[in-house]
Structure 1
Amino acid sequence: MLEKVKIFSKQGVTRKILVLLLACGIFPMILLAGFFFYFYFNGQKQGIGEVQKEIGDRIATNISSYLEKTSGQIQLFAGTLQFRDHNTQELKNLSYALLDQIIEFDKITIADLSGNEISKVSRYYTFRPFELINISQEKSFQDAREGRTHFGKVEISSLSKFPHIRISVPITDVQDRKTGVLTVDVNVLKMWDYISRNSIGDNRYAYIVDSEGFLIAYQELSSVLQKKDLRNIEGIRNLLQGNIGVFEYQGLIGKQVIGANAYIPLTGWGVVVETAAEDAYRT
């Protein structure tokens, strides 16, 4: 009986030693491993976020630069238009020549200071004289007549069925007096093709929304043509509320993503760069 008690006693001591070893050795290791993985994934997320932000800022800068260049081309063309020297047919010929030269331009409209359209040409349609209208009530015309360059909202063209942005600039004579307004519809998809030549990496995608949160540029054309409302996406809500940065949320493709957003100057648009969280943490 005494020997049994001793055996039980030894087993109790052994158990206590094992528990003590577990408490002093394995549990701290598990705790340390937990801390390690927490800080590892946190650092991984931060690094991925910085890459996303850099890409978003680069795309925003490229698009802004592209629009500045485009508006400069439009202003340069406006400087060649002299109503005294060119009749209506000559204005149309000059406009068609510009369409041939710059593939992003879809429609060119020239109006006098009263808002009466003098010439209107498109690469998709031939306008007849009775289709020329008065545009004096349009904000784009009013801004340009006051000497400002106007960038309109992105809209779906009734002619090409593609999204476009309307840019209007004043026409002036050699004495810098305003004589009319030049308006050019610029194809946004062609602009996106121009921008997307810059690689954004594997397992990553970018898209552009307008100032109201509607999709205006993305690799999937059908979603763009539908002008999809993306205000249900947390990353877009952050953008519209002025929260610029890196966030984790359910993204455009329905997966949990790490996304970064950035404003595009001149336009009120925003660019969003997303990568699936599972792909990001796997790298």
Structure 2
Amino acid sequence: MSPSFLHFRISSIHSRTIFTRLFFGILAMVVAMMVTAGFFISYQTESMLEEKTRQQLTQVSLTTLTEASHCVKAIVATLQSFASAYETGKVTNSQVFDIFSDLAAQHPTISEIQLATSDGKYLTFPGSPVDAYDPRTTDWYSQALRLQDQPAYISDVFQFSQTEFPKIAVSLPLQKDDGQTAGVVVAFVSVPKLSEFIGGIQIGRSGYAMIVDQHGKLVAHPDANYALTRPSLEQLPVVNEVMAGNAGVQTVHLDQADYLAAFQYDPWLRWGIIVLQGVAELEQEVQRLQWTILAISLIGLGALSVLLYGYVRKIVAPIKEAQQKMTAFSEGNLSLVMHVKTQDELRQLADGFNRMSGQLNGIIRKIQHAISDVKQIALHVEDGSRRSHAVQSGVTNVTERLSHEMDAQHQQIADIHDHVDSIAQEMNRITTLLQNALEQNQISSQQTASTSYSIEQLQTEMKRISEDMRTSLQAVSAMRKSMIDIHDISGMIMDISKRTKLLSLNARIEASRAGEAGLGFGVVADEIGQLSAQTETATSRIQQVIAAGEQRMEHVSRCMQTTDSATLEAIHTLSQATDTFAQTVQLSDTFTAQFAAIQQLSASIRQHSQLILERVNTLSASAVEVLDGMQQAVASNQESLSYSQQFLNDSAKLTDVVEDLEQEIRFFQTTTEKPSA
């Protein structure tokens, strides 16, 4: 098997693989979308059908109940017309019979019409009951007479006898001209005829309707025989809902099958209409619709598969061609071009492939022309590299020796710079300390002068206090003399008080001797005695106060003397301190002058040190620059030497590469075809 045929088979397999993946991938997505849509449509269809059935059953139940109510209301209206005619004029029995005949013809559900009078008599169409009875004892007669808001009374299902069919009485009262009750007119609705009416209602194949009363018993059913048995359906939940007067739709299990039941209740008729439809029928309808959707989907899927097959094949064909030509391109054939007629991405791919093939052809030709030139240049470069390598080796040796000498000189300059820098730092520290000492000395001098001034002020104040204390002592001495005078005056007042007391006693004695004539004098004597007693009391208190004051004055005098002595000693001590601070201030001024001189000398030394340091820094920087230059020169020479060696090696490699490139270029076929539009 040839290699070209093998490549063609491989490309065909790859093409079919792309086609298979693309075709079945798109088909799988379409199927998934259709299945999802099918499930959604199926679910929506089932819900829609169920909702539609519920609405239909509800509508049928409402319509049936409306028709039944309309039928009863029509009978009531007919009876009301008869009652009006009966009340307004005389009606013979034959006329009543004719009217009843017309009413029975108009309403097929009426099996019998009867007129019962207040005296117990009655007239019946089409015939009388088998057994005679008194209509006034019936429920429909008594209830009709009690009507208030209702137009007529509608009874429950009943039978006159076991041989008669069940019936329902629709009755209303008759009035006389004077307002008295004339009787009751009643129409009997046949239950079998109601079953015929219900049997005419068809809902699908399995649906039907039935009527139950307020007691849960069956009234009408499509099966008339079953309705005549009047079975009780209280066991059904839907019947319980009807008996409760509710309306709605629910699922009910009846006759071993599930039904969807809609129910309505009429409180006037006291009937409930139940309309049922089999759930199985609804499910069959849903399944039929689902099978129809599935069949349509399968047919559409088959048609879509055929169209998709052709469409994908048309898309994959240019890719297959591109695969084949890329295989040939990888084998070195640059003469192939792609032919694509479409105006899409595949056309852009083909144009790009053709441009790439043309450009590679041009490049290969240029490389072939340049190989010979490069080969000659490589030989010249190799010779020049050998000569340059020898020269660079000599320069590198000389530069390395010069770099070692400059490195030693830089080390010596660095040592000098370190010594000068240390001296400058020490001088800076000394200058800083002198400056701090000078500032502290000035501050101390200012504080000493301030303290000396404060002491002088304190000494002046102490002297003033001492003088005030002497003045106070003199005032206290004068006060003591005044207290002695006050004490003498108090003694004189005491003597006067004693004499006044004695005079009061003598006056009282004389007043007692005088009898009634001396009563006024006795009163005066009593007042004088009281005044003398008060004076004596006041004098005693004054003496006590004066004694206490003398004691306090003596204590104050002693304290002031002690304070005066202490003040004098403090004044003497302050004088000594003032002299000491004056000497301290003089010494501080002397130190300040000496520190200022030292600071000037230190500043001068610092300036010279800074000049020396700057010159050493300049010399060191110059040496560093020279050393860096030498190191860079050495590094450059070494790098140049390595480049020269590498360039020499690369020249040899370039020659080998050029030879290998000549062999590789011979692999390509550069004869190209012209691409068609």
Q: What TM-score results when the alignment is normalised by the length of structure 2?
A: 0.33
Cα displacement string for residues 118-138 of structure 1 (whole angstroms, at most 9, x for unaligned residues): 11425465557xx241525x4
- Aligned match of 1:249 in 225, 239, 252? 252
1:249-268 matches, within 5 Å, as 249-251=252-254, 253-268=255-270
Local SS of the residue matching 2:230:
coil
Match of 2:275 in 1: 273
Match of 1:70 in 2: 75
Local SS of the residue matching 1:208:
strand
- Aligned residues of 1:118 and 1:132 also touching (Cα < 8 A): no
Bigger Cα displacement from structure 2, 76-85 vs 229-238: 76-85
Q: Which amino acid aligns with 1:280?
A: L
Match of 1:47 in 2: 52
Q: Distance in 1 between matches of 2:250 and 2:71?
A: 27
Question: RMSD across aligned C-alpha pairs, in angstroms?
Answer: 3.5
Sort the Cα spacing of 1:276 and 1:194 in 2 relative to 1 into closer, same or farther, 3 A.
closer
Q: Distance in 1 between matches of 2:271 and 2:88?
A: 35
Sort the Cα spacing of 1:225 and 1:232 in 2 relative to 1 into closer, same or farther, 3 A.
same
Q: Distance in 2 between matches of 1:147 and 1:51?
A: 37
Matched, 1:135 2:140: no
Q: Deviation of residue 185 (structure 1)? A: 1.2
Matched, 1:150 2:156: no
Bigger Cα displacement from structure 2, 116-125 vs 269-278: 116-125
Cα displacement string for residues 63-100 of structure 1 (whole angstroms, at most 9, x for unaligned residues): 1111100111122222333598356x547635753565
- Aligned residues of 1:247 and 1:259 also touching (Cα < 8 A): yes
Q: Distance in 1 between matches of 2:156 and 2:98?
A: 26
Bigger Cα displacement from structure 2, 229-238 vs 190-199: 190-199
Matched, 1:187 2:208: no
Name the one with the larger strand percent: 1
Local SS of the residue matching 2:156:
strand
Q: Deviation of residue 262 (structure 1)? A: 1.0
Q: Distance in 1 between matches of 2:142 and 2:129?
A: 26
Match of 1:17 in 2: none
Name the one with the larger helix percent: 2
Q: Which amino acid aligns with 1:141?
A: Y
Unpaired runs of at least 5, structure 1: 1-24
Matched, 1:93 2:100: no
- Aligned residues of 1:107 and 1:120 also touching (Cα < 8 A): no
Match of 2:235 in 1: 232
User: Which has more radius of gyration?
Assistant: 2
Alignment coverage as a number of residue pairs: 253
Bigger Cα displacement from structure 2, 75-84 vs 163-172: 75-84
Bigger Cα displacement from structure 2, 206-215 vs 38-47: 38-47
Local SS of the residue matching 1:81:
helix
Match of 1:105 in 2: 110
- Aligned residues of 1:120 and 1:132 also touching (Cα < 8 A): no
Sort the Cα spacing of 1:105 and 1:117 in 2 relative to 1 into closer, same or farther, 3 A.
farther
1:1-12 matches, within 5 Å, as none
- Aligned residues of 2:213 and 2:272 also touching (Cα < 8 A): yes
Local SS of the residue matching 2:121:
strand
Sort the Cα spacing of 1:275 and 1:194 in 2 relative to 1 into closer, same or farther, 3 A.
closer
Match of 1:282 in 2: 284
Local SS of the residue matching 2:242:
helix
- Aligned residues of 2:192 and 2:228 also touching (Cα < 8 A): no
Sort the Cα spacing of 1:108 and 1:127 in 2 relative to 1 into closer, same or farther, 3 A.
farther
Match of 2:124 in 1: 121
- Aligned residues of 2:192 and 2:220 also touching (Cα < 8 A): yes
